[in-house]
Structure 1
Amino acid sequence: MENIPVKPTQAELEILQVLWQHGPATVRFVNEVLSQRREVGYTTTLKWLQLMTEKKLVLRHYDNRPHTYQAAIQKEETQSLLLDRFIEAAFGGSAVNLVLRAIGKGKNTREELDRIRKLLDQMDSTPANDQDHDS
């Protein structure tokens, strides 16, 4: 899998989510999953997958009948790139402002807050982070 060549559209991200969750799949399967959330025609899903193949977001396997598609980009890599772009565009590059806005909305469960606290504790105890506090 290679770097993300282009920023996936919202529709392409929905398809990638299906492929990341279920693995290689046919157009029909992808369309059925998408249709559970909103009405999407089979030919629309097929066209999206064809365009995504051209953009190198998915790979098409010709050895199966019907053909299957699989994500050509990794989920974590895609999330990181999109998050970096979002933080830069919406928060002037400040991850702190993003986190403060997200947590400050008050819609977090106790479990989510505990996970955040645990992550912060782990990051705080990592020696590499000690040198980052030179302000």
Structure 2
Amino acid sequence: MSDRKPTAAELDLLRTLWELGPATVKDAHQAMQAERPSLTYANVLRLMQVMHGKGLLTRDESQRSHVYAPAQAQDALQTNLLTDLIQKAFAGSGKHLVLAALDAHVTDAEREEIRRLLEDTAKESPDE
């Protein structure tokens, strides 16, 4: 993947393609219009062309309509973006990221689910 990080609009398109799978511009445009009715076909086409140039999308030109797909799996890109965020915003501390998220961005139900996940993880791999 390119060293350039995706913009917010590019991440929206990537989420659409991760859900759809490889798609034409027309397919992606139709899927994205549900949330953004003002989005034009030309906007999606240009965005996909730019993303292909940045290495964020692959393009299969073997068919009449080009088919685009994310160059990276969703979990791989999210891990890379998270690592970058931890380094830049939290001085390399995953703990500080988690504490900031728990402080402001987690519901009580999510907090309980996290607690259960941590307990399950602790049971699976006891301290060495």
Bin for the TM-score computed over the shorter chain: 0.7 to 0.9
**Whole-Å separation in 2 of the counterparts to 1:123 and 1:76:** 20
Native 8 Å contact 1:4 1:73 kept in 2: no
| Identity over aligned pairs, percent | 36
**For the residues of structure 2 that align with 1:43 and 1:37, how far apart are their CA atoms?**
17
* Misfit runs of 4+, over 3 Å: none
35-44 vs 51-60, greater mean Cα deviation: 35-44
Instruction: Give CA-to-partner distance per residue, 1:100-128, whole Å, 9 cap, x none.
Output: 12122264142x2232112211332314x
Structure 2: gaps (5+ residues)? none
Q: How does 1:1-135 map to 2 (within 5 A)?
A: 3-38=1-36, 39-105=38-104, 107-110=106-109, 112-125=110-123, 126-127=125-126, 130-131=127-128
Deviation string 1:35-62 (CA, Å, 9 cap, x unpaired) is 2222222111111111111122111112
SS in 2 for 1:92: coil
**TM-score, normalized by length of structure 2?**
0.85
Check conservation: 1:24, 1:69, Cα contact below 8 A: yes
Q: What is the rounded CA distance, in whole Å, between the counterparts of 1:122 and 1:85 in structure 2?
A: 28
How far the C-alpha of 1:6 sits from its partner, in A, is: 2.4
Taking structure 1 as the reference length, the TM-score comes to 0.81
In 1, Cα distance between equivalents of 2:116 and 2:81 = 25
Matches of 2:105 and 2:66, distance apart in 1: 45
Change (3 A) 1:123 1:58: same
In the comparison of the two structures, how many residue pairs are matched? Answer: 126
Q: CA RMSD in A?
A: 1.9
